[in-house]
Amino acid sequence: MKVKVKNCIQCGRLFVETAGAICPGCFHLLQEQEEQVFRFLQRNGGHGLLEQIIAATGVPKSVVIDMLKRGWFQGEYSVEYPCERCGSLISDGKLCPTCIRFVRHEVRGSANTDIVTTRKNRFHSWEDRHKKK
Ligand SMILES: [Zn+2]
Ligand SMILES: [Zn+2]
């Protein structure tokens, strides 16, 4: 049987192909980092700020973000990080509830403008046609 090898997306080393995209060494390191994050949260009563966790554990931000995306911090654990738009602290999604409402409103607002413009254009073309007659 031919053994397939591929480069680890994390460290670039060649390794025998497995289900994951990273080599066993990086996988082990990742597991250790994830454990460090949880240990930090446990010491803090389950809560922590993203920046605080990174500073205290030395775990790369991308690893903690990935854990967040996978929904690991739920129930007894919560990690707070700044809203992408206004910077207020949230523990779910990318935006705080206020910004979500604002963005939704903005989207609806631009849709309304589109309708108004279309109506205006239609009116103009009707007017133009009327004048020509
Ligand atoms: Zn690796
Ligand atoms: Zn916000």
10-residue averages of pLDDT along the chain (133 residues): 85 88 93 97 95 96 92 88 95 92 81 52 56 57
What's the gap in Å between 82 CA and the centre of ligand 2?
8
Q: Is residue 17 part of a domain?
A: no
What's the gap in Å between 111 CA and the centre of ligand 1?
48
**What is the structure's pLDDT at 11?**
95
Q: Is residue 79 part of a domain?
A: yes
**What is the structure's pLDDT at 24?**
92
**What is the structure's pLDDT at 57?**
97
DSSP state of 70: T
Q: Is residue 110 part of a domain?
A: yes
Q: Is residue 43 part of a domain?
A: yes
Q: Is residue 116 part of a domain?
A: yes
Q: Is residue 16 part of a domain?
A: no
Q: Is residue 11 part of a domain?
A: no
What's the gap in Å between 54 CA and the centre of ligand 1?
21
Tell me the residue range of the domain where 58 lies.
33-123
What's the gap in Å between 99 CA and the centre of ligand 2?
4
Query: How are beta strands 5-7 and 47-49 bridged, if at all?
Result: unpaired
Residue 35: enclosing H or E segment and its boundaries? helix 24-43
For the chain, report the end-to-end CA distance as a whole number of angstroms.
Answer: 84
> Does this model's pTM top 0.85?
no
Tell me how far apart the alpha carbons of residues 93 and 79 are, in angstroms, rounded to a whole number: 11
Tally of CB atoms within 10 A around 2 = 4
**What is the structure's pLDDT at 119?**
52
In a 3-state reduction of DSSP, which class is residue 53? helix
**What is the structure's pLDDT at 107?**
75
**What is the structure's pLDDT at 105?**
87
**What is the structure's pLDDT at 95?**
94
Q: Is residue 7 part of a domain?
A: no
Total tally of structural domains belonging to the chain? 1
In a 3-state reduction of DSSP, which class is residue 60? coil
Place of tokens 């239609």: 122
Cα dihedral across residues 57, 28, 79, 98: positive or negative: positive
